[in-house]
Amino acid sequence: MAKRSMSLLGQWSSRVFSIDLDKRGALLNFALTEKPQQAPEKFRNIQERCYSVLVCGDDRIQSARFYFGLEDLLRNELPAECELLPVSSYLPHVKDSLIRGYFLKDASECPSLTRRVLGALGLSEQVQVCSYLRGPDGGRWSQQLWSGSENQNMDVSKTCYVVPSEEANYHPSVLNMENSDVFYCRAEACKVLQESCDIIPESRAVLELVGKTDASRHSPDFPVVVIEGLDATGKTTLTESLREALGARLLRSPPQCLSPWRAVFDREPPLIRRAFYALGNYITAEQMGKEASQAPVIVDRYWHSTASYAIATAVSGPVSSLPPEGSPLYRWPPDLLQPSLVVLLTLDPQERKRRLEARGQGQTDEEQELDHNLLFRLRVEEAYRRVRGPACVVVDAGPSAEKVLQQVLLLIKEHCRL
C-alpha cells in the first residue's frame, strides 16, 4: 500500500531522530545512513526490542488529536513492560519539518503482541512504524521502515543504519512552534478553529465572539496594566486591590464570555488549545479598547501568558532548550493591542508551595513530578522575561500583599499617565 505519509517524511535519510529520554533535557539524537556503521553510544546500551511510531498525516487537526491520544492508546494496548519515550523527527534547520511520535522499548515476554498492536496501527495513513534491530556485533543498529499490509505481517520496505547525529542547538519543537503553538495574528488562530468546527462544534461559538476590527493602532485614553505570573503568585489578590485603589475596570484573558468553553479546549491538543487562548486575547483586547476610554484598566493575564506557557510546554528540559533570547518567537502579534505596562509577579518556589497549600491545593509529593514542575516553572518564567513589545517589569511577590500593591502603584505612576 502506498503511504501518503511517506511524502511528509521527506528525505528519510536526512532526518534526525530525537528521543526524549527523561523530560529533563537528555535527548538521544540519531540519524540514518545506508552504509552499516556504529550506533551512538547511548543506543549501544539498549537491550530491548525497539520500535518508533511517528504521526504524519496530512490533516493537522486530526494528526494533532491522534498524537494527543496516542500515548494512552499505546499504554492501553501494549504489554506493561513496554517503555514509551517521546520521539521527534526533523530536518535540521527546516521550519515545520517536525513529526512527533513515540519510541518503544519492549522488554515484555510477548513480542508478538507488541508487533500485532503496531501492525494494526501501521495500517493507518496517519502513522509510520519502524523497528530497530541490533546487529550481531552489538554495536550496529538498523532501522526498518514498515509499510502497512493487510495481513499484519509487516513488509519491511527499507533498511537504514542508525548513526550519531549532531546535537541540535535548541529543542526540535522550536522548528514547529509558529502557527502550531503560538499564533502571531488573529487570522492564523481563527483558521485552526475553523478547521476544527466539524469535530469541535464549540469552535463555531468562539469564532462568533471574535471581532474583526483591528484595535491595535488605537491608543487608549487611560492606562492599561497587565498583571502576569504563574498560578498562586498573587495575581487575583493584586488585581482586585489595584481596581479599588485606582477606580479601574478589571478584565481577564481568557475573558468571562469564553468560560463555558474553556474546559472543552483544555482537553484538546496544544494546536487547538493554544489557538483558543490566542483568540481570548483578541476578545479581551476589544474590551480593553472600550473600557480604557473611560477609566484605567487592569488585566489579569494576557499575551505574555499565552506565548510563555505555549513555548515552555512545547519543549522539555532546562531553560536552555527554549528558543534563544531575541528569537522572533517572542515577538508581539502586530494586530494585538499593546498594554501600557506589563508586571510579572515572581515568587520563591517554597513560598508559592506554602500559598498553594494554604489555598488547599497541595502538590503531588512524587519527587520526579516536582522536579519536572520546577523545570517547567523555570521555563515559563524565563519565557515571560523574553517576550517583547512591551517587555514585562519583574516584581517580587514575596512581601506582604500591601507592599506588593504599593510597589506596583509606584511602577504605574512611573510608566503611565494617570
Ligand X SMILES: Nc1ncnc2c1ncn2[C@@H]1O[C@H](COP(=O)(O)OP(=O)(O)O)[C@@H](O)[C@H]1O
Residues in touch with ligand X (CB under 6 A): 229, 231-237, 355, 358-359, 397, 400-401, 404
Q: How far is the CB of 123 from ligand X (least distance, A)?
A: 46
Q: How far is the CB of 30 from ligand X (least distance, A)?
A: 42
Q: Could you tell me which residues come within 8 angstroms of residue 82 by beta carbon, excluding any fewer than 6 positions away?
A: 74, 104, 105, 106, 107, 108, 114
Per the CB < 8 A criterion, the answer to whether 79 and 106 are in contact is yes
Residue 176 contact partner, candidates ligand YYY, ligand X, none, CB within 5 to 8 A by sort of partner: none
DSSP letter (8 states) at residue 371: H
- Asked if 52 is part of the footprint of ligand YYY (rule: CB under 6 A), the reply reads no
- Please, which residue, 286 or 381, has the CB nearer to ligand X? 381
Determine which residue in the list 281, 287, 321, 340 makes contact with ligand YYY, applying CB under 6 A.
Answer: 281
Size of the site for ligand YYY (CB under 6 A): 11
Determine which residue in the list 253, 316, 321, 340 makes contact with ligand YYY, applying CB under 6 A.
Answer: 253
The helix (run of H) or strand (run of E) holding residue 232 is: none
Partner residues linked to 298 by β-bridges: 225, 250
- Asked if 173 is part of the footprint of ligand YYY (rule: CB under 6 A), the reply reads no
In 3D space, the residue among 65, 92, 95, 98 whose CA is nearest the CA of residue 272 turns out to be 65
- Please, which residue, 101 or 229, has the CB nearer to ligand X? 229
In 3D space, the residue among 272, 219, 270, 227 whose CA is nearest the CA of residue 248 turns out to be 227
- Please, which residue, 108 or 237, has the CB nearer to ligand X? 237
Determine which residue in the list 146, 222, 277, 282 makes contact with ligand YYY, applying CB under 6 A.
Answer: 277
Report d(CA 9, CA 28) in Å as an integer. Answer: 20
Q: How far is the CB of 302 from ligand YYY (least distance, A)?
A: 5
Question: Binders of ligand YYY among 369-388, rule CB under 6 A?
Answer: none
DSSP letter (8 states) at residue 256: G
Phi, psi of 351 (to 5 degrees): -65, -40
Report d(CA 418, CA 412) in Å as an integer. Answer: 8
For ligand YYY, which stretch binds (CB under 6 A), given 6-14, 141-149, 178-186, 273-281? 273-281
Q: How far is the CB of 230 from ligand X (least distance, A)?
A: 7
Residue 131 contact partner, candidates ligand YYY, ligand X, none, CB within 5 to 8 A by sort of partner: none
Radius of gyration of the chain (CA): 24
The residue sitting closest to ligand YYY, measured at its beta carbon, is 277
Q: Kindly write out the interface string for residues 284-303 of this chain, putting x where it contacts ligand YYY by CB under 6 A and - elsewhere.
A: -----------------xx-
In 3D space, the residue among 144, 105, 147 whose CA is nearest the CA of residue 19 turns out to be 105
Partner residues linked to 104 by β-bridges: 51, 84
Residue 261 contact partner, candidates ligand X, ligand YYY, none, CB within 5 to 8 A by sort of partner: none
Report d(CA 395, CA 409) in Å as an integer. Answer: 12
Strands (E), 41-180: 49-55, 82-90, 99-106, 127-134, 141-147, 155-164
- Please, which residue, 1 or 401, has the CB nearer to ligand X? 401
- Asked if 143 is part of the footprint of ligand YYY (rule: CB under 6 A), the reply reads no
Strands 49-55 and 224-229: unpaired
- Please, which residue, 31 or 230, has the CB nearer to ligand X? 230
Residue 339 contact partner, candidates ligand YYY, ligand X, none, CB within 5 to 8 A by sort of partner: none
In 3D space, the residue among 33, 37, 143, 160 whose CA is nearest the CA of residue 87 turns out to be 143
Q: Kindly write out the interface string for residues 211-250 of this chain, putting x where it contacts ligand YYY by CB under 6 A and - elsewhere.
A: --------------------x-------------------
Per the CB < 8 A criterion, the answer to whether 53 and 143 are in contact is no
- Please, which residue, 43 or 68, has the CB nearer to ligand YYY? 68
Q: How many CB atoms lie within 10 A of CB 155?
A: 13
In 3D space, the residue among 76, 82, 21 whose CA is nearest the CA of residue 48 turns out to be 82
Residue 301 contact partner, candidates ligand YYY, ligand X, none, CB within 5 to 8 A by sort of partner: ligand YYY
Report d(CA 415, CA 418) in Å as an integer. Answer: 9
- Please, which residue, 49 or 301, has the CB nearer to ligand YYY? 301
Residue 404 contact partner, candidates ligand X, ligand YYY, none, CB within 5 to 8 A by sort of partner: ligand X
Q: How far is the CB of 311 from ligand X (least distance, A)?
A: 20
Q: How many CB atoms lie within 10 A of CB 267?
A: 10
Per the CB < 8 A criterion, the answer to whether 50 and 44 are in contact is no
The residue sitting closest to ligand X, measured at its beta carbon, is 234
Determine which residue in the list 306, 316, 321, 338 makes contact with ligand YYY, applying CB under 6 A.
Answer: 306
For binding to ligand YYY (CB under 6 A), which residues are involved?
A: 231, 253-254, 277, 280-281, 301-302, 305-306, 309
